[in-house]
């Protein structure tokens, strides 16, 4: 007999995106440096990747470093880069074994060479995995992504590969970093901030937004389940008059 469907996984949105925010405030509450909060944030990321897989999410996109985060003090920026190094060094084997495919979106130009290599290695080693797609937005900004895509469209128009008249949301979307994936169904932002901060500007056109007061280092499977339960109460209409099943 086929196993009974798991109700949680049956209702999990296909693509969940998360703005992991509040690490600094979490550390401040404890009288510790902001980087301590970022380190705990990595633990929350590990828990969340595991939980997303268990709940049957197919795509999990997380915002790790924005194109605007360069405005932070140099020591903090370098600590955030170190955490990407540490996360991949510690978890890549586990991700490979557990069927997680890792992809990184954002501007790669200008990143330190070893970061580029770490990203390429993680993508290559997990490329045949298909249980969960973990998409890490690193040095990512929605406006930067749209500008980079536009440069490529213009180059293709100049080369005669595409006609200007053929540019529409579908053809343009294929030039974005996220071309291969469906748009996020659910976007979660932690820590009581109610803005997109340049995340997924194009892709979030019809995404359901859930804001929570949990600070990112405290995020866990229960918090993800709560956000999914909130999502499941929403009626998605995509501009029409009837609910659309997704
Ligand atoms: C989010 O936490 C982590 C990143 C931006 C990488 P913050 O560092 O923004 O923490 P708060 O918002 O200052 O509390
Ligand atoms: C967004 O959080 C960026 C990431 C989570 C990586 P920020 O903390 O940088 O956003 P603002 O500055 O509060 O808008
Ligand atoms: Mg913040």
User: 117-150: per-residue pLDDT in tens?
Assistant: 999 999 999 999 999 999 999 999 999 999 999 9
Q: Whose CA is nearest to atom 13 of ligand 1?
A: 24
Q: Decide if 139 is catalytic.
A: no
Q: Which atom of ligand 1 is nearest to the CA of 65?
A: 6
If you search the block for the tokens 């200007």, which residue do you land on? 164
**Beta bridge mates, 15:** 59
Structure tokens at 133: 């797609």
Q: With pLDDT > 90 as the criterion, what percentage of the chain qualifies?
A: 95
Contacts of 227 (CB under 8 A, 6+ apart): 16, 186, 188, 210, 212
Query: CA–CA separation, 90 vs 39, rounded Å?
Result: 13
CA of 223 to the centre of ligand 3 (A): 18
Could you tell me the distance, in angstroms and rounded to a whole number, from the CA of residue 157 to the centre of ligand 1? 39
pLDDT reported for residue 10 = 55
Q: Which residues contact 46 (CB under 8 A, 6 or more apart)?
A: 87, 91
d(CA 243, CA 11) in angstroms, rounded, equals 16
d(CA 76, CA 152): 32
Rounded distance between C-alpha atoms, residue 73 and residue 45, angstroms? 23
Kindly report the number of other CB atoms within 10 A of residue 32's CB atom: 13
pLDDT at 152 over 70: yes
Above pLDDT 70, what percent of the chain? Answer: 96
Ligand 1-lining residues (CB < 6 angstroms): 20-25, 41, 65, 69, 80, 191, 216
Name the CATH code of domain 9-141+185-231 (choices 1.10.10.410, 3.40.50.300, 3.40.1180.10, 2.70.240.10). 3.40.1180.10
For residue 106, which of 138, 77, 82 has the smallest C-alpha distance?
Answer: 138
Confidence class for position 5, pLDDT limits 50, 70, 90:
very low
Number of the ligand closest to the Cα of 41: 1
Q: What is the pLDDT of residue 223?
A: 98
> CA–CA separation, 32 vs 186, rounded Å?
32
Q: Which residues pair with 61 in a beta bridge?
A: 17, 135
Q: What is the pLDDT at residue 11?
A: 84
- Given a cut of 80, whether residue 116 has pLDDT beyond it is yes
Whether the Cβ atoms of residue 190 and residue 197 lie closer than 8 Å to each other: no
- Mean pLDDT, the chain, rounded, equals 96
| pLDDT confidence band for 49 (50 / 70 / 90) | very high
- In the predicted structure, residue 7 carries a pLDDT above the cut 60: no
Residues 61 and 13: their CA atoms lie apart, in Å, by 12
Single pTM value for the model: 0.95
């Amino acid at each position: 007999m086929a196993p009974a469907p798991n109700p949680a996984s049956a209702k999990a949105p296909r693509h969940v995106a998360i703005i992991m925010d509040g690490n600094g405030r979490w550390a401040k509450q404890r009288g510790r440096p902001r980087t301590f909060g970022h380190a705990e944030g990595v633990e929350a990321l590990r828990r969340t990747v595991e939980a997303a897989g268990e709940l049957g999410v197919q795509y999990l996109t997380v915002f790790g470093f924005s194109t605007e985060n360069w405005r932070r003090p140099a020591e903090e920026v370098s600590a955030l880069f170190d955490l990407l190094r540490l996360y991949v060094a510690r978890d890549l084997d586990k991700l490979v074994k557990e069927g997680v495919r890792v992809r990184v979106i954002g501007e790669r130009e200008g990143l330190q060479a070893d970061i580029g290599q770490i990203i390429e290695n993680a993508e290559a080693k997990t490329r045949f995995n298909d249980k969960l797609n973990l998409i890490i937005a690193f040095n990512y900004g929605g406006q930067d992504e749209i500008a980079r895509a536009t440069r490529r469209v213009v180059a293709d128009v100049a080369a005669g590969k595409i006609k200007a008249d053929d540019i529409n949301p579908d053809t343009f979307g294929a030039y974005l970093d996220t071309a291969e994936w469906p748009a996020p169904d659910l976007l979660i932002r932690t820590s009581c901030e109610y803005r997109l901060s340049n995340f997924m500007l194009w892709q979030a056109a019809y995404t359901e937004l859930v804001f929570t007061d949990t600070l990112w280092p405290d995020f866990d499977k229960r918090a993800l389940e709560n956000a999914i339960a909130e999502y499941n109460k929403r009626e998605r209409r995509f501009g029409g008059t009837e609910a659309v099943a997704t």
